[in-house]
């Protein structure tokens, strides 16, 4: 039986399915660099997740026993792919299964921002709601507004479709290239080859591009200055796509109306000044957090493990 390590607790049903097929070890604490080295000598496959920093140092083991890092999650910017490939370690991820849960959470943030739901709830809980009045917490109309999608992959597309079909929103999108997809055509989504032309027109901007070097601080001072003062920014992608310090400054200076964040530059740390802003909605990286999705992610990992150890092609190969 192959030895497999999962680095955190998973939904019980998938832990059980894994344990039936593999010699399974479950950890529930971060690994130090030395512990990564030991684990890479000890297990045939390791299933990390977004909070595990598998950088070149952590992967620096001469002849690792581990031949597969089967990531529990779609994003893999926490794994140094070059270092993994150099050690002969394959990497897989879990696309598709978390598309709708993540897009639903982006829509949750969009609605919470527009309708000032966080502010209202805080007010009520603090005993500061003294009854209905016509100018109380007036928000922004979502129906018919313009949504700019940055990164029209699976999740971006799902978000666009929910916003368009459910809320009659006009869709703009920025991507490396136009998406030639029947859904995009049916929505009459407009391609913006350059990011500023999207930022200058969108009432809501939702980020769905990968994290890592290529998109680090894509939304920095210049991009934030391009946004409309009444516009909102939503990030369910990766924290490093947004320069958090520049975001705080832009929010204070009124360059945009608010921000909804599910991901942060230095998770789980959150830039303290964000906490003090009322026009910000902050969630603790909940994008894929439904029971059905977290179970499906585990089963997707299992599918990759099974294929790998029976000599079949990895269904979700990253490297
Ligand atoms: C993902 O799948 O990338 C989520 O952010 C959780 O890791």
Q: How many domains, in total, are found in the chain? A: 2
* Residue 314 within a domain: no
Chain centroid, CA 201 distance in Å:
24
* Residue 47 within a domain: yes
The 10s digit of each residue's pLDDT in 268-317 is 999 999 999 999 999 999 999 999 999 999 999 999 999 999 999 999 99
* Residue 33 within a domain: yes
Closest C-alpha to 97, from 211, 18, 11:
11
- Same structural domain, 185 and 278: yes
CATH of the domain at 123: 3.40.50.720
d(Cα 81, Cα 54) in Å, to the nearest integer? Answer: 9
* Residue 239 within a domain: yes
Task: Name residues contacting ligand 1 (CB within 6 A).
Answer: 49-50, 73-75, 98, 287-288
- Category of 285 on φ-ψ map: left (φ > 0), alpha (ψ -120 to 50) or beta: left
136 is catalytic: no
- Same structural domain, 36 and 87: yes
- Same structural domain, 74 and 170: no
* Residue 246 within a domain: yes
- Same structural domain, 223 and 303: no
Domain that residue 28 falls in:
3-97+290-309
CA of 98, closest atom in ligand 1: 2
* Residue 315 within a domain: no
- Same structural domain, 111 and 243: yes
Asked if 304 and 2 touch (Cβ cutoff 8 Å), the reply is no
285 is catalytic: yes
- Same structural domain, 27 and 108: no
Ligand 1 atom 2 nearest Cα: 73
Mutate to test the pocket of ligand 1, among 72, 79, 287, 298 (most ligand atoms within 8 A of CB): 287
Catalytic residue among 100, 116, 285, 300: 285
- Same structural domain, 87 and 220: no
- Same structural domain, 133 and 149: yes
Contact residues for 16 (Cβ-Cβ < 8 A; gap 6+) = none
- Same structural domain, 127 and 72: no
**Digitized pLDDT (tens) for each residue of the chain, 319 residues in all:** 999 999 999 999 999 999 999 999 999 999 999 999 999 999 999 999 999 999 999 999 999 999 999 999 999 999 999 999 999 999 999 999 999 999 999 999 999 999 999 999 999 999 999 999 999 999 999 999 999 999 999 999 999 999 999 999 999 999 999 999 899 999 999 999 999 999 999 999 999 999 999 999 999 999 999 999 999 999 999 999 999 999 999 999 999 999 999 999 999 999 999 999 999 999 999 999 999 999 999 999 999 999 999 999 999 999 9
- Same structural domain, 44 and 113: no
267 is catalytic: yes
- Same structural domain, 63 and 122: no
* Residue 13 within a domain: yes
- Same structural domain, 70 and 215: no
* Residue 198 within a domain: yes
């Amino acid at each position: 039986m192959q030895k497999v390590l999962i680095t955190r607790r998973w939904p019980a049903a998938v832990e059980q399915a894994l344990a039936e097929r593999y010699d399974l070890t479950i950890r529930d604490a971060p690994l130090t660099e030395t512990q990564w080295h030991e684990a890479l000598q000890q297990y045939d496959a390791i299933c990390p997740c977004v909070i595990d920093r598998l950088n070149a140092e952590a992967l620096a083991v001469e002849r690792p026993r581990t031949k597969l890092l089967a990531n529990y999650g779609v994003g893999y910017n926490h794994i140094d792919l070059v270092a993994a490939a150099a050690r002969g370690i394959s990497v897989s991820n879990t696309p598709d299964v978390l598309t709708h849960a993540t897009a639903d959470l982006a829509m949750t943030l969009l609605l919470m921002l527009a309708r000032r739901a966080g502010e209202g709830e805080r007010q009520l809980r603090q005993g500061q709601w003294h009854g209905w009045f016509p100018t109380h917490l007036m928000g922004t109309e979502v129906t018919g507004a313009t949504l700019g999608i940055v990164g029209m992959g699976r999740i971006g597309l799902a978000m666009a479709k929910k916003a368009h079909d459910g809320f009659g929103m006009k869709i703009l999108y920025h991507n490396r290239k136009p998406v030639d997809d029947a859904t995009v055509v049916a929505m009459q989504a407009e391609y913006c080859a350059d990011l500023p032309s999207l930022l200058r027109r969108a009432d809501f901007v939702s980020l769905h591009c990968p994290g890592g070097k290529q998109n680090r601080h894509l939304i920095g001072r210049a991009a934030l200055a391009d946004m409309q003062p009444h516009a909102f920014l939503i990030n369910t992608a990766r924290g490093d796509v947004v320069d958090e310090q520049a975001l705080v400054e832009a929010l204070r200076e009124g360059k945009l109306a608010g921000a909804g964040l599910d991901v942060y530059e230095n998770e789980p740390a959150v830039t303290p000044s964000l906490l003090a802003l009322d026009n910000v909605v902050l969630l603790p990286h909940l994008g894929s957090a439904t029971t059905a999705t977290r179970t499906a992610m585990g089963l997707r990992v299992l599918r990759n493990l099974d294929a790998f150890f029976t000599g079949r092609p990895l269904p979700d190969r990253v490297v």
